[in-house]
Amino acid sequence: MRVADFDFALPRELIAEHPIEPRDAARLLKVGPKIEDRRIAELPQLLRRGDVLVANDTRVIPVRLIGRRGAATIEVTLHRDLGGGNWRSFAKGARRLKPGDQLEFGEHFAATVIAKEPEGDVVLRFVEEGPALRAALEKFGQMPLPPYIHRAKAGDARDRRDYQTVFAAHDGAVAAPTAGLHFTPALLAALREAGIGLETVTLHVGAVLSCRSRSRTPRITGCTPNTALSHPT
């Protein structure tokens, strides 16, 4: 089986560059005895009292970085934390990079290329790690939007809000859990009023959307005792 077998035509004009407002005005396809076009905001009327929704409370970190290697502009997207300040990263123009190259992303914020992987990505080593690296990413990074959404190199400040869900609480994702993007505080209130339960898990989403020919295994890092007891496996 080839990845190309799943290709299909999607007109560029049908791809939204920003979410609809309010988010729960997005369309929802109800599948049953008949197919119905509905809205996300109608979810409380489509579920039953006592039903439980399970939401992913991962938070996307701004891992897209624009920097320089000498006079050349470099764009990288960090996608897998290897620990110790080391990250596997997608890089535009990765074939021109070599181990030992220094990439400058901002004042006192840089990384060194320490390896090139057979899959085509590279391993970067930052001086910072842990909270210090997260702080630098918050300052210099941009949100890692899917490749079908176009942005200028400077990015868009709205993406910091638009590419997070209302459930976002725990740093670690490099792509948003997209189904959760349609929920709003008003919709959550309506679900509670309708007797619909809500539990959370923490599932840090990897780079599946960033590079369609490579798969990454999502990491489940947290599950509340209530969630585990309510939904035994």
Q: What is the pLDDT of residues 164-221, one digit of tens each?
A: 999 999 999 999 999 999 999 999 999 999 999 999 999 998 875 444 334 344 444 4
pLDDT higher than 90, residue 41: yes
Rounded to whole angstroms, the Cα distance separating 144 from 127 reads 22
Question: What's the pLDDT score for residue 102?
Answer: 96
Ordered by start, the domain boundaries in the chain are 21-27+39-62+144-233, 64-141
Question: What's the pLDDT score for residue 216?
Answer: 43
Q: Work out the percent of the chain whose per-residue pLDDT is above 70.
A: 89
Hey, which bits of the chain come out as E strands? 27-31, 35-39, 52-56, 58-60, 64-69, 72-83, 86-91, 102-106, 109-116, 122-126, 170-173, 197-204, 219-223
Give the helix ranges, DSSP H, for the chain.
43-46, 130-140, 159-162, 185-193, 225-230
CATH architecture of 64-141: Beta Barrel (2.40)
Reported as a pLDDT band with limits 50, 70 and 90, residue 156 is confident
Q: Work out the percent of the chain whose per-residue pLDDT is above 90.
A: 70
pLDDT tens-place string over residues 115-142: 999 988 999 999 999 999 999 999 999 9
Question: What's the pLDDT score for residue 1?
Answer: 82
pLDDT tens-place string over residues 49-60: 999 999 999 999
Reported as a pLDDT band with limits 50, 70 and 90, residue 95 is confident
